[in-house]
Chains A and B, each alone.
Chain A
Amino acid sequence: MHTFELKGLCVRKEAKDILQDINLLVRRGDKILIQGPSGSGKSTLLRAVLGFEKCSQGTVVYDGIRVSSSTIRDFRSQCTYIGQSPLSYEGTVLEYVHLPFGFKVNRGRCPGEEDILAILQKLGFASEILTAEYRSLSGGEQQRVTIAQALLLKRDLYLLDEVTSSLDQANIIRVINLFTGSADRTVIAVSHNHEWRGEGMRVFALQNGHLKEEGERA
């Protein structure tokens, strides 16, 4: 995916305008941070991009193709969404990391153990983590394993909803570096953590349903 654009996106829920006339052009490799007070519609915006919120107006366009019920699967296959709370899962960390590769579309793309370990080590884990029970990990550890799982999918666009909210300072930096370190990776992150406001980040504020760019930081 080279470009993706939100054109006049509006979301209305229970007679309340949550998002109003959202316009955003994202090019390959862009790193976007969306900030705003709680309840301002940041998570709704990410869900709307993925087609999980009904838009009263507006469209999402990727590489010139309008996202509709017939193209949504193709669009989603190029994105990865990570929420603020990790999935509940019974099994080892290795089995959990393999979970998405059991889905038909990802079969045959399963990463080797070395690749898995390399990503997990970048996220601060030792190799023993692979055999640990996923459920026995702390919330922050589960979140980092979920981030590793998402990165191994090697998608074009990452939609991150408060992924660092349960992490300590050192791990927040690790995660941010992983997402912003690659020029090819397109990232839209919603976060309260100020650490995201780093170099090359396009920062937007979402307030009263309107999205405004603060200006690219050099």
Chain B
Amino acid sequence: MNAAVSISLPSLGVFFLLLIIPAMLFRYMNLRLNRQLVIAFVRMVLQLSLVAVYLEYIFKLDNMAVNIFWILLMVLVANAAILKQSGLSFRRFFVVTYPCYALLAFCILGSFLIVLDAGTLFSARYLIPLAGMIFGNILRTNVVALDRFYSQVNRRDAEYIAYVSMGATHAEAIKPFLREACKAALGPQIASVSTMGLVALPGMMTGQILGGSSPAVAITYQLMIMVAIFLTSSLSTFLSVVVSSRSAFDGYGRIKKEMFLTKDKS
């Protein structure tokens, strides 16, 4: 099979001009989204250009220490994004959530040894994209779970108090809220797994096919990554809620208000 045909920059630029159509539609409908649209696409171009430059460099270097540092950095960015979008204070939760995510990242990457040999897995060309795919895909589930868990504990605090006053330990009292948060986060994920290939062609598989791999090879990689993503999503969802909740309550079982980002009142 041949590698993907390269796209010339001028033709890519012309392709970008098609974005004028949704921009005009937004303007016609008075959606006030054009500023966000421009910022989002400019950011995406800059970020992906930078990724192209540093991945090129990291792949060439192929040094284990650099790879591990890169993964730790990736986990840090994911952790910050999850906490910020869930309305939790990064400064206060980072100490407990970061070790948990980092440990999970290395365990999951280590589990790839079942299907890939060590030489292949630990080369930057495999390790970095696999880690990126996994941590890029757990953001949503973790944000949904944390957001749901803390909003419910705050809203239904009488229920939490009732459980504690019935004799429940902290872990027992948060269980109904944890169950609900995991259900809300992982239900849609299971639905997307079951429709995979029918509704949308998975990105990794498409990329590999365009890159010259046979569909059979591309599918085995896609199946492997789907298992890894689901494993990471479910474990990180559960762990992030449990671990963060240990810091979110004081010795009396009261939720600490200072652990949450104050919402802009405007």
Task: Give residues in A with beta carbon < 8 Å to B.
Answer: 47, 50-54, 69-70, 72, 76-77, 79-83, 85, 87-88, 99-100, 103-106, 149-150, 153, 159
Contacts and interface: CB of A to CB of B under 8 A. Distances in A.
Contact of B252 (A51, A100, A106, A149): A51
Given A83-B158, A85-B158, 17 more contacts: A50-B161, A50-B164, A52-B254, A53-B254, A54-B254, A69-B252, A70-B251, A81-B161, A82-B162, A87-B159, A87-B162, A88-B159, A100-B167, A100-B168, A103-B167, A104-B169, A150-B166
Nearest to B165: A81
B62 interface: no
Contacts of A88: 159
Nearest to B158: A83
B254 to A, nearest CB: 6
A99 B166 contact: yes
Contacts of A106: 166-167
A70 B251 CA distance: 8
B88 to A, nearest CB: 20
A52 B251 contact: no
B251 A79 contact: no
B253 A103 contact: no
21 contacts: A47-B161, A50-B164, A51-B253, A52-B252, A52-B254, A69-B250, A70-B251, A72-B253, A76-B167, A83-B158, A83-B161, A87-B162, A88-B159, A100-B166, A103-B163, A103-B167, A103-B169, A104-B167, A105-B167, A106-B167, A153-B166
Most chain A Cβ neighbours within 10 Å, of B166, B172, B252:
B166
Contact of B167 (A51, A153, A159): A153
A159 B162 CA distance: 11
Contacts of B168: 100, 103
Contacts of A79: 165
Contacts of A52: 157, 161, 252-254
Interface residues of B, number: 18
B176 to A, nearest CB: 9
B181 to A, nearest CB: 15
Contacts of A104: 167, 169, 172
B251 A72 contact: yes
Given A50-B161, A85-B158, A88-B159, A72 B252 contact: yes
Given A69-B251, A72-B252, A50 B162 contact: no
A197 to B, nearest CB: 25
Nearest to A53: B254
Contacts of A53: 254
B189 to A, nearest CB: 22
B137 to A, nearest CB: 31
B167 A77 contact: yes
Nearest to B169: A104
Given A51-B254, A54-B254, A103 B158 contact: no
Interface string B150-188: 000000011101111111110010000000000000000
A70 B157 CA distance: 22
Contacts of B251: 69-70, 72
**What are the 4 tightest A-B residue pairs by CB atom distance, in nearest-first order?**
A69-B251, A100-B166, A81-B165, A105-B167
Contacts of B172: 103-104
A82 B159 CA distance: 10
A10 to B, nearest CB: 16
Contacts of A70: 251
Most chain A Cβ neighbours within 10 Å, of B157, B159, B165:
B165
Contacts of B254: 51-54
A168 to B, nearest CB: 23
Contacts of A149: 166
Nearest to B252: A51
A77 B165 CA distance: 7
